């Protein structure tokens, strides 16, 4: 895929890059660079920048949108809005999967690993827009693609801490306090994926993945609640 083929994506998001190489870089996964040694960069530095811009933009929006909510609840809503599942789903809606530059091996994997790649690429794209045209442009992109999901999260209390809810219900219904065990961690230090199991009296009930142990524990608790139909 060359730079010209990203024109359809620019049309889709309503943003035209002045520096087209930044757009291509946002979609360039480390594995693609490993197979194309003539390339010197992948998107992880852009992802690092985009993650910070995303958090700032969402924080500003929530602060203004919900003046009566306390810090703890705002933090939980923000986490629900920018977690891997949420932003990878947004990336899917934008058709970003069709533009990823991946190795042949990564192209074959369409499961959970692809979800993380899409989430990371979404953050890299934010970083690229920020470098290309500044905070206002990146903030507008985030607003256009994420902010409309906020009311659904708040009204449905989808931000509620799954671990706390699971602990409360497990103690009430089966007199057990859930515990969490790290199953595995994969990836380089700056971009790890953690898998955690939630246990009832030493028996694994469910697993969850996340970019931090805390996110993985929340994912495991959420899955356990669904499996238990609590």
**CA distance linking residue 26 with residue 138, whole number of Å:** 13
pLDDT the model gives residue 4? 55
| 44 SS3 class | helix
Name the DSSP letter for residue 213: H
Domain that holds residue 16: 8-155
Residues 110, 97: Cα–Cα separation, whole Å: 10
Supply 24's token pair: 């291509």
Indicate if 12 and 123 belong to the same structural domain: yes
Determine the pLDDT at residue 3.
Answer: 56
**Is 121 in the same domain as 63?**
yes
Domain count of the fold of the chain: 2
The total of other beta-carbon atoms located within 10 Å of residue 91's CB is 23
Same domain, 62 and 175: no
Same domain, 130 and 55: yes
Q: What integer is the mean pLDDT of 86-114?
A: 88
- Domain boundary (99, 130, 155) is at 155
d(CA 76, CA 80): 6
If asked whether residues 39 and 124 sit together in one domain, one would say yes
Last residue of a domain, one of 99, 126, 155: 155
Active site residue: 47, 51, 132, 215, which one? 51
Mean pLDDT estimate for the chain: 91
Say whether 123 is catalytic: yes
* 124 and 142 housed in the same domain: yes
Contact, 141 vs 15, CB < 8 A? yes
143 with 216, same domain: the answer is: no
Q: What is the pLDDT of residues 6-20, one digit of tens each?
A: 999 999 999 999 999
Q: Where does the chain have alpha helices with state H?
A: 7-13, 20-26, 30-35, 44-65, 71-82, 84-93, 104-108, 112-133, 135-146, 150-155, 162-174, 213-228
Q: Both 142 and 177 in a single domain?
A: no
Predicted TM-score of the model (pTM): 0.75
Q: Which listed residue (47, 123, 132, 215) is catalytic?
A: 123
Q: Is the pLDDT of residue 214 over 90?
A: no
| Domain finish residue from 110, 138, 155 | 155
Work out the pLDDT band at 164, boundaries 50, 70, 90: confident
pLDDT at 161: 74
* CA 224 – CA 95 distance, rounded (Å): 30
- Tell me the pLDDT band of 159, cut-offs 50, 70 and 90: low
Q: Is the pLDDT of residue 2 over 70?
A: no
Same domain, 148 and 184: no
- Choice among 4-18, 24-38, 105-119, 136-150 with the minimum mean pLDDT: 105-119
pLDDT band at residue 70 under the 50/70/90 scheme: very high
């Amino acid at each position: 895929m060359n730079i010209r083929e990203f024109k359809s994506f620019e049309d889709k998001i309503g943003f035209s890059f002045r520096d087209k190489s930044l757009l291509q870089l946002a979609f360039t996964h480390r594995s693609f660079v490993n197979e194309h040694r003539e390339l010197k960069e992948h998107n992880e530095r852009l992802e690092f920048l985009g993650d910070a811009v995303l958090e700032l933009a969402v924080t500003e929006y929530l602060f203004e949108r919900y003046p009566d909510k306390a810090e703890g609840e705002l933090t939980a809503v923000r986490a629900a809005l920018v977690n891997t599942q949420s932003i990878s789903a947004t990336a899917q809606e934008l058709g970003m999967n069709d533009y990823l530059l991946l190795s042949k091996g990564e192209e074959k994997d369409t499961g959970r690993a692809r979800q993380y790649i899409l989430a990371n690429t979404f953050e890299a794209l934010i970083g690229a827009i920020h470098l290309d045209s500044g905070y206002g442009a990146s903030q507008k992109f985030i607003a256009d693609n994420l902010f409309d999901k906020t009311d659904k999260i708040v009204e449905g209390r989808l931000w509620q801490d799954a671990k706390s809810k699971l602990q409360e219900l497990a103690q009430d219904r089966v007199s057990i306090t859930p515990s969490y065990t790290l199953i595995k961690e994969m990836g380089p230090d700056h971009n790890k994926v953690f898998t955690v199991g939630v246990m009832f009296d030493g028996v694994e009930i469910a697993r969850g993945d996340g970019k931090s142990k805390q996110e993985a524990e929340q994912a495991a608790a959420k899955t356990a609640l669904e499996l238990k139909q609590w």
